[in-house]
């Protein structure tokens, strides 16, 4: 997702946007109670950046890794959104809520509590490719409208199941009979709230999420993150920009390929580049056909499609 325009451009309502050309990634440790869009806006103002977006939405109540893209990094957000994500979350057994988290009204209760053995035995059924129905209160669109808007308006919301992938799901601790903490590694489109809802049903009880932290998106982890409070404490936009990571960090999941100056120039003006020898990656390995990113002296040049020995530019980076 990308918001706002380049310097001198106009946004909604014809308002002139301000800001400078700032390029790179800021990994925010998002606080609870702030929407992803609001977090982008606050960080953009602090960096005095003309163009910004994010690499995957977090629920307002969730915390943790929210990758913010600035300038040319916004051209890579779709690839980051497709990458693997990791979460740590706490479950409250015995109570279901309309939103599948602490915000919604109570819809069901149960006196039964699962044992550690029962929980661990149930986890295997949620590994691999599984069918998952998103929560009613989610950003999934139904007839062009967000499901959460329909649900908040009292409309009946029926969402179709989608295939998601869960690579790891582990029980970390049981705090008491009502609460347990888990970790999960998963693919694009997986809802933790839906997982908890379905896990509770599989155990013959009910439950909801009480705390949720995203610990990883692609190559970005909490170790890379800065809090909004820390960002706001910096003296000026120049100091804040020192927290930026290179644009290429958002491309870790895509093979990279070096090009020479002539090839870089041709790609930047939108021309295809025939290769006279097999494509070799940055790590020295042979590259298969598909999407790559090219670089000149470690500086990203363009996202390209490799096919039949030809590099075709998809998105060009303009630094």
Domains of the chain: 2-83+219-247 (3.30.2350.10), 85-216 (3.30.2350.10), 254-316 (2.30.130.10)
Rounded-to-integer distance, Cα 110 and Cα 265, Å: 65
Q: How confident is residue 14, by pLDDT bands cut at 50, 70 and 90?
A: very low
The Cβ-side half-sphere exposure at 76, using a 13 Å CA radius, reads: 32
Q: How confident is residue 150, by pLDDT bands cut at 50, 70 and 90?
A: low
Question: For the ranges 80-89, 144-153, 187-196, 245-254, which has the lowest average pLDDT?
Answer: 144-153
8 pLDDT more than 70:
no
Rounded-to-integer distance, Cα 195 and Cα 202, Å: 10
Rounded-to-integer distance, Cα 153 and Cα 211, Å: 25
CA nearest neighbour of 44 among 15, 24, 63:
24
CB distance 91 to 202 below 8 Å: no
Pairing verdict, β 52-54 and 63-70: antiparallel
Rounded-to-integer distance, Cα 156 and Cα 147, Å: 9
CB distance 176 to 121 below 8 Å: no
The catalytically annotated residue of 29, 59, 101, 224 is 59
Residue 262 a catalytic site member: no
Rounded-to-integer distance, Cα 125 and Cα 297, Å: 47
pTM of the model: 0.89
Q: What percent of the chain has pLDDT over 90?
A: 76
In the chain, helix, strand, coil percent, each to 5?
A: 25, 35, 35
pLDDT of residue 234: 87
């Amino acid at each position: 997702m990308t918001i706002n325009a380049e310097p001198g451009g106009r946004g909604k309502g014809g308002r002139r946007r301000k800001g400078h050309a700032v390029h790179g990634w800021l990994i925010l440790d998002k606080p609870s109670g702030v929407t992803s869009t609001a977090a982008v806006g606050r960080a953009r103002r602090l960096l005095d950046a003309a163009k910004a977006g994010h690499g995957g939405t977090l629920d307002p109540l969730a915390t943790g890794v929210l990758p913010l893209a600035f300038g040319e990094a916004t051209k890579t957000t779709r690839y980051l959104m497709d990458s693997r994500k990791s979460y740590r979350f706490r479950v409250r057994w015995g109570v279901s809520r309309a939103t599948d988290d602490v915000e919604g009204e109570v819809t069901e209760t149960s006196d039964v509590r699962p044992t550690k053995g029962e929980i661990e035995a149930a986890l295997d059924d949620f590994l691999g490719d599984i069918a998952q129905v998103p929560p009613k209160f989610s950003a999934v669109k139904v007839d062009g409208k967000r499901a959460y808007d329909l649900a908040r308006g009292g409309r009946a919301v029926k969402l179709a199941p989608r295939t998601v992938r869960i690579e790891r799901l582990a029980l970390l601790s049981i705090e008491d009979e009502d609460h347990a903490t888990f970790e999960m590694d998963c693919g694009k489109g997986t809802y933790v709230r839906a997982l908890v809802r379905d896990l509770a049903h599989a155990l013959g009880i009910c439950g909801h999420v009480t705390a949720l932290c995203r610990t990883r998106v692609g190559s970005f982890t909490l170790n890379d993150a800065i809090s909004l409070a820390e960002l706001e404490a910096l003296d000026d936009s120049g100091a804040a920009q020192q927290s930026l990571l290179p644009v290429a960090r958002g491309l870790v999941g895509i093979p990279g390929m070096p090009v020479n100056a002539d090839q870089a120039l041709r790609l930047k003006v939108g021309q295809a580049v025939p290769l006279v020898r097999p494509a070799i990656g940055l790590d020295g390995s042979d590259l298969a056909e598909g999407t790559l990113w090219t670089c000149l002296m470690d500086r990203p040049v363009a996202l390209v499609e490799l096919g039949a020995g030809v590099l075709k530019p998809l998105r060009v980076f303009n630094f």
